[in-house]
Structure 1
Amino acid sequence: MAELDPAEQIKELSSTLESIEAVLDLDAKRTEIEQLREQSADPELWSDQENAQKVTRRLSFLESEITRVEGIRSRIDDIGVLFELAAAEDDAETLAEARRELEALRKDVSELEVRTLLSGPYDEREALVSINAQAGGVDAADWTQMLQRMYLRWAERHGYPTEIYETSYAEEAGIKSTTFVVKAPYAYGLLRGEHGTHRLVRISPFDNQSRRQTSFAGVDVVPVVEQSDHIEIDESELRIDVYRSSGPGGQGVNTTDSAVRITHLPTGIVVSCQNERSQLQNRATAMSVLQAKLLERKRQEEEAELAALRGESAGAWGTQMRNYVLHPYQSVKDVRTGVETGNTSAVLDGEIDEFIDAEIRWLRSRERDQQQAAG
């Protein structure tokens, strides 16, 4: 199939960007930016630190989103001139530069298009991520810590603030579990496809015979609760334990029993927090984590009920969702979307946007098919 003329490709990209701009409703975002700027200029805002941080994060997000769209629009307007210049001067080097920029623009527009698919009821929320070691012993604990680093590096690459609420260290190496929050608008919408079992195959660094080991870790992603959410929790259904926070190898972090573990007896959900110095603060944070997990459970139950009414199976799309193979070859492959790369070190260093974008498209397509079947 013959390649489209550059002018046609530029026209196509421009048209796609117009559709994206319409869906994102940039005028509404500019209006919201002005309102948020007024709020952030009010000295009284900082009397409520949590709300002030929420306002400034939202403002920063909207400003960067507008800048991103306007930057792509400007590049699309400029690239035609670059192709004309290359043709006028018969300059192979300028032509090659123009083609590279066109390819980069195509990628950037595609990534921006994914943002328009984040339209779920909780997609705009911040994300609460929990990772738990599963089968594989010490290798699974090490793998859990590798995954924690991967997500924290991904957030860092995007400038998303994170806060670790709890880390339970394993005896020999790695961690048994961890919970952290990604404090950015749409973090839940971006990360919800990461929910499921992540499988690692490698030569175990903990095996003195250097045998190949398969280990598993489970990733759970839920939206952070907001004041508008109604989650009733009966205090009599909670078991609350306090204990001393610990670091690697059992070393005490705090000298007092300030860490808090809450067990929700009806569901068996267990949450912990140890990042704060105060037991009261840890308890408040642990309760917010519990509320988030109960909110997600409620959403899943409602989804299962609707599926049953439609005569569908309500099986979770979680379970095993990605394989990371470091031996005998290098590969990371998503089981559902088929996205694959041999650059395992980049993935483990947080370069997972290609997987995340494909997951968003896959989930949206799946939801669309369900809606059509219901209709």
Structure 2
Amino acid sequence: MAEFDFSQALSEAQAKYNMIEKALDPDALRTRVGELEREASAPGLWDDQEHAQEVTSRLSTLQGQLKRLDSARSRLDDVATLEEMGREENDHDTLIEAQNEVESIGKDLADMEIQTLLDGEYDERPAVVTIRSGAGGVDAADWAQMLMRMYLRWAERHGYKTKVMDTSYAEEAGIKSATFQVDAPYAYGRLSVEGGTHRLVRISPFDNQGRRQTSFAAVEVIPLVEPTDHIDIPDSDIRVDTYCSSGPGGQGVNTTYSAVRITHLPTNIVVTMQDERSQIQNRAAAMAVLQSRLLVLRHEEEARKKKELAGDIKASWGDQMRSYVLHPYQMVKDLRTGYETSQTQSVFDGDIDGFIEAGIRWRHQQRQQERAEAEGR
């Protein structure tokens, strides 16, 4: 094993900190924190609870960023002093402590660096995730439900608030589709790299002959729409159907026409919502999701037009973006980034940060490459 080079590790950590500090701009952060603190302490803030929650959530996020920056700066100074002291006194234990600390700082800075890469137009927003079963019959429906659990567990690990907005249960097992919201700053920026087709290979628990089955499920991630987005939807562009909710929920939910299906006629986008007891609440939630999808559609059309004007139309990520193999070996592998792990159960329990971070770095590289190609024309 190569000898640990403390000076190089410290230099790399310092360079990464400088890059993060430049990207996050702590002076601007402090100014914004001061503005939000004054707004948060204003009388009557909680008269508008939705706005108040936005203010306090944003304030907490920025305060956390500042605290991590200040802590990293202090730790870099302290670890340099610690290593120097250990070297002067020839204290092996102190040198090992300094080595462990600079490695820990490096890992924390790598996590902070991800934040600087979330610079998309909607990356700061909460996310709305929809999972749909694909090819594979009952196994695919079961797989869709496994994916839903995986993402909800991921959110739980981070302390993010979630809300299941709609679930369509399959007849034998699993789900046909489900939509849920992840209410946290930058939830869309992080989860958007999860969009695509997820493939599962396993011995089917629904096959009495124990044969291997390949199943597919699609994950769609959109940003939560905000009032300032101005997505106007004329009543003439939509068809609204109501029906009885299905699945768990109690007699009051299952026997009234509270569920809502909205079809956007120009695009044929369909949104269903049945989580709320009230038809009015379900309609409002469905309209919010429809607006979010139309917002993404508009954004994609604008990006497509720019590429067409540049004379270069590239394929997107492609359909199949990740494989989960449980037989004949254990492996989860992202086909875009190459990131993989054999700890499949941990992944299903929500340990997917490695995949998300690799996806964010991959996407950032793709964007940089596209910008460089555009500038070179």
User: How high is the TM-score relative to the length of structure 1?
Assistant: 0.93
Q: CA deviation at 1:155?
A: 1.5
Q: Quick check: 1:127 aligned with 2:127?
A: yes
- Code of the residue aligned with 2:337 in structure 1: it is T
Deviations 1:70-117 (A, max 9, x none): 222232222224434544555544444433332222222112112111
Q: CA deviation at 1:9?
A: 1.9
- Code of the residue aligned with 2:334 in structure 1: it is D
Contact in 1 for aligned 2:238/2:265 (Cα 8 Å): yes
Counterpart residue number, 1:277: 277
Contact in 2 for aligned 1:225/1:292 (Cα 8 Å): yes
Q: 2:176 is paired with a residue of what secondary structure?
A: strand
Deviations 1:269-298 (A, max 9, x none): 111122222111111110010010011111
Cα distance in 2 for residues equivalent to 1:347 and 1:93? 36
Q: CA deviation at 1:150?
A: 1.2
Contact in 2 for aligned 1:245/1:252 (Cα 8 Å): no
Counterpart residue number, 1:151: 151
Q: 1:116 is paired with a residue of what secondary structure?
A: helix
Cα distance in 2 for residues equivalent to 1:251 and 1:200? 36
Deviations 1:221-263 (A, max 9, x none): 1111122213221211211111222225998744321111111
Q: Quick check: 1:183 aligned with 2:183?
A: yes
Q: Quick check: 1:297 aligned with 2:275?
A: no
Q: 1:208 is paired with a residue of what secondary structure?
A: coil
- Code of the residue aligned with 1:66 in structure 2: it is L
Q: CA deviation at 1:311?
A: 2.0
- Code of the residue aligned with 2:104 in structure 1: it is A
Matches within 5 A, 1:209-358: 209-248=209-248, 253-358=253-358
Distance 1:191 1:137, change over 3 A: same
Q: CA deviation at 1:219?
A: 0.5
Cα distance in 1 for residues equivalent to 2:363 and 2:186? 15
Counterpart residue number, 2:361: 361
Counterpart residue number, 2:41: 41
- Code of the residue aligned with 2:67 in structure 1: it is T
Cα distance in 2 for residues equivalent to 1:263 and 1:69? 47
Q: Which moved more, 1:291-300 or 1:75-84?
A: 75-84
Aligned length: 375
Contact in 1 for aligned 2:168/2:177 (Cα 8 Å): yes
Q: Which moved more, 1:246-255 or 1:108-117?
A: 246-255
Contact in 2 for aligned 1:170/1:248 (Cα 8 Å): no
Calculate the aligned-residue CA RMSD, in Å.
2.1
Contact in 2 for aligned 1:150/1:347 (Cα 8 Å): yes
Cα distance in 2 for residues equivalent to 1:22 and 1:44? 36
Cα distance in 1 for residues equivalent to 2:92 and 2:208? 56
Contact in 1 for aligned 2:253/2:277 (Cα 8 Å): no
Q: Which moved more, 1:325-334 or 1:184-193?
A: 184-193
Distance 1:39 1:277, change over 3 A: farther
- Code of the residue aligned with 1:203 in structure 2: it is I
- Code of the residue aligned with 1:30 in structure 2: it is R
Cα distance in 2 for residues equivalent to 1:218 and 1:252? 31
Structure 1: unaligned runs, 5 residues or longer: none
Contact in 2 for aligned 1:242/1:257 (Cα 8 Å): yes
Cα distance in 2 for residues equivalent to 1:343 and 1:86? 38
Q: CA deviation at 1:61?
A: 1.3
Structure 2: unaligned runs, 5 residues or longer: none
Contact in 2 for aligned 1:262/1:272 (Cα 8 Å): yes
Counterpart residue number, 1:137: 137
Deviations 1:180-210 (A, max 9, x none): 1111121111111111000011111112222
Cα distance in 2 for residues equivalent to 1:344 and 1:114? 24
Distance 1:254 1:68, change over 3 A: farther
